[in-house]
Amino acid sequence: MVSLSWHAPAVLAAMLLIIGLIGLLARRSLIFVLMSIEIMLNATGLLFITAGMRWGNPQGQIMFIFVINLAGAELALGLILLLRLRNLLTTLDGDAANRLRDVEA
Amino acid sequence: MNHLLWLVPASPLLGAVILGLCGTMLPARATALIGTASVGIAALIAILIGLHWYAAAPPSHIFIQHLWTWLTLPGLTVDIGLYLDPVSLLMMLVITIIGTLIHLFSTAYMAGEDGYSRYFAYLNLFVAAMLLLILASDLLVLFVGWEGVGVCSYLLVGFWFQDAANGYAARKSFIVTRIADIAMLAGILLLAVKLGTLAIQPMLARATELWPHGGTWPTLAAGLLLIGGLGKSAQFPFQTWLPDAMAGPTPVSALIHAATMVTAGVYLVVRLHVLYLLAPDVLLTISIGAGITILLAALAALVQSDIKRVLAYSTISQIGYMFLALGVGAWSAAMFHFLTHAVFKALLFLSAGAIAMRLDHEQDIFKMGGLRTSLPLAFWSFLIGAASLAAVPIVSAGSFSKEMILGAVWFAPGIGPGLWAAGLLGALITATYSFRVVFLVFFGPTHTPVTGRSGAPIAVPLVLLAAGSLLIGWLETPSFLGGDRLVMTLLHPVLGSPASRSALTILIEAAGFIVPLLGIAIAYTLYRSGHWQRAAAAQPGALRRLLRSGFGFDALYEILLVRPFMALVGALRHDPVDHVVTLISATTLQLHQTLRRSQIGQLRRYAAWLMAGSIATIALLVFA
């Protein structure tokens, strides 16, 4: 069995996280924001598996299953909120959903 | 008869309550009737008690009417009771009779004024409080009366409160006497703690029993009580309030600020003279302070142009004579001068009021003049009063009492002759300033036209008081004029007999007789040469301004006391201690102001901060 170095997946996870973060910060559409969050969650999942591989510990894979579950639940809630927001604001622009700001700021 | 004593203070009090509660509903005539009658009834009862006393005095010359117990504390019981002895009898007669006359005068003087019933309510309340003061058998009850007259004085000085200056004068008189009263209260508490009772006679008996002559405690107690007395009697260094108190209506000045209340300090010392005999240092202080007061006030009176201010300074000066007598232990001479002074000073003030009424309330003596023919009654009564004030020999009451004081002062050991000289100089200046007013007001050309007319309520008090000023001195005459001893005989059981007089007395009396005539001659000369008229018209020099302001004590106290106090007030009004507490809230508020700017409602910005925070936390965990 080919012994894989843990470096490459860790770097990949970091890249995925940064891609997701940039998407989160740069995109205004809430659909893309949700997708960016998914990417970031997958990055962490990948990092768990990599870490499990590095230390030969199965707990990393258990954590990954947790993360998948979490992402699914979060996505369901996120999509509901997104639909409510679209009904309310008739747009999917995240910057328009700023009604909870301090009035004077 | 004596058991009716309680009615004497109760009757004016009832009058004050009636007028105070429903005075505004009553017509003016009913108000005047109730106000005057309530004091008149008190005067009637007082006269009856006096006659009864004269016919058959109680064996101990003391009558005590216990009314009820006020306070019972561990180690101290205070009874509300009335205490009548020759001293309080004399005071009671003077206050009620002169009070009635002044009430009668007021019914005409205050006619048509706003607050007519308020005026009589205050005046009745004053008489009630003053009677409580002099009849109290307990020092604490006396203090209640003492504060009561202070409050009434404040209310009546500021009677025309629409003018802010009158309110200021009222506050000044109240605050100055209050400062002195704090010392008096401390003295009363000291006596209560050290002697265990405040009932005057047992307290004095215990004081002589427990305290040595000239000891620390009697000196301290007598000194503290003296400060209260000096404040009430407007003596140096508390004299500044009395000239300003002339802002009140003139009958008020006659009753409160000349005849009765301002002599309360004299009465206090006489009442407690046993205590003062234990404190020779305090007596010495009294006589020196009195000498200073006599001269300061007489010199200030010499340059005043307001007729009431002249009389105010003369009151300060004459009460100085009473204190001079007290300082050398001539208690009965002080009481006799109190009697004559009450009569002739009330007369002078009422005459000044009668003049002012007819001159559209003009009080500047340089704007009067020539009133001798147009106001004959006021002229004669003022002349008689001024003669008594100046102590014109034989014909006036003031000369008998002043003679008695100066004679007693001469024989005081040590500084006696010095004080006598001060008193004699004071008498010279007194004669000069009182006849300066007489000449300027009643002689020469007319400056202000006379209007209106005066009725019986004005004339009756003036005539009666003028008769009193002429005759009352004959109650007590020097040996070569018959040697009557009515006042001395009355006061003898309480105050003892005065020291016997030696052969030198004739010379002393001769000096006392000549000096007032000399003073009048000076006044006449300066009037004839037009000196005063020129001085009033000219720009006043520095000395004149100093004298006119009463030796600048107001300015001195302004710098020494008022400004530092107001600076303290200015510092404290911003509540420096509170700053510690407000600092906490201010910091919180500032933090809030800073942090609220981050609440911009931008999801992406929040996410960025969230990320930055996470990175910072991880960096801390990894590298720190």
**Helix (H) or strand (E) segment spanning residue B235:** none
Min Cα distance A23 → chain B (Å) is 10
Which residues in chain B have their CB less than 8 angstroms from residue A26's CB?
A: 604
For chain B, the structural domain boundaries read 342-538, 541-574, 578-623
**Residue of chain A minimizing CA distance to B608:** A25
Q: Name the residue among B524, B341, B521 with its Cα closest to residue B442.
A: B524
Give yes or no for B602 touching A (CB within 8 A): yes
Which residues in chain A have their CB less than 8 angstroms from residue B611's CB?
A: 21, 25
Residues 6+ apart with CB under 8 A from B607: A24, A25
Partner residue opposite B601 with nearest CB, options A24, A26, A100: A100
Residues 6+ apart with CB under 8 A from B584: none
Which residues in chain B have their CB less than 8 angstroms from residue A21's CB?
A: 611
CB-neighbour burial class of residue B165 (10 A; exposed 0-12, middle 13-18, buried 19+): exposed
Per the CB < 8 A criterion, the answer to whether B434 and B309 are in contact is: no
Beta bridge mates, B56 = none
**Which residue pairs, CB below 8 angstroms and at least 24 apart, start in B110-118?**
B110/B249, B110/B251, B111/B28, B115/B159, B116/B28, B116/B31, B116/B32, B117/B19, B117/B23, B117/B24, B117/B26, B117/B28, B117/B31, B118/B19, B118/B20, B118/B23, B118/B159
Quote the CA–CA distance of B603 and A98 in Å, as a whole number. 8
Q: Do A98 and B611 touch (CB under 8 A)?
A: no
Which residues in chain A have their CB less than 8 angstroms from residue B599's CB?
A: 100-102, 105
Question: CA separation (Å) from B379 to A2, B92, B354, B453, B469?
Answer: 139, 29, 10, 15, 14
End-to-end CA distance of chain B: 103
Q: Do B603 and A95 touch (CB under 8 A)?
A: yes
**Domain A30-94, CATH:** 1.10.287.3510
Give yes or no for B593 touching A (CB within 8 A): no
Q: List, for residues B316-338, the tens digit of each pLDDT value.
A: 999 999 999 888 888 888 888 99
Alpha helices in B359-415 (DSSP H): 371-374, 376-390, 397-410
Mutation target to probe the B interface, by most B beta carbons within 10 A, among A22, A102, A103 is: A102
Chains A & B: contacts with CB separation below 8 Å = 40
Quote the CA–CA distance of B298 and B426 in Å, as a whole number. 6
H helix count then E strand count, chain A: 3, 0
Q: Do A25 and B599 touch (CB under 8 A)?
A: no
Quote the CA–CA distance of B589 and B593 in Å, as a whole number. 6
Q: Do A24 and B607 touch (CB under 8 A)?
A: yes
Sign of CA dihedral B352, B356, B357, B361: negative
Min Cα distance A64 → chain B (Å) is 21
Q: List, for residues B49-96, the tens digit of each pLDDT value.
A: 988 888 887 878 888 888 888 888 887 888 888 888 888 888 999 999
Which residues in chain A have their CB less than 8 angstroms from residue B598's CB?
A: 105
Q: Name the residue among B433, B436, B431, B390 with its Cα closest to residue B528.
A: B436
Partner residue opposite B599 with nearest CB, options A24, A25, A101: A101
Q: Name the residue among B105, B156, B535, B172 with its Cα closest to residue B356.
A: B105
**Helix (H) or strand (E) segment spanning residue B80:** strand B76-84
pLDDT at B75: 79
Give yes or no for B604 touching A (CB within 8 A): yes
For chain A, the structural domain boundaries read 30-94
End-to-end CA distance of chain A: 60
Per the CB < 8 A criterion, the answer to whether B305 and B268 are in contact is: no
pLDDT along chain B (624 residues), means of 10: 84 91 85 90 92 83 84 84 88 92 90 85 92 90 92 90 89 91 92 86 87 86 91 88 88 87 91 89 90 90 88 92 89 88 91 86 80 84 89 80 83 80 90 89 80 81 88 75 71 68 66 85 86 77 79 85 90 85 92 86 86 93 90
Banded pLDDT at A1 (limits 50, 70, 90): very low
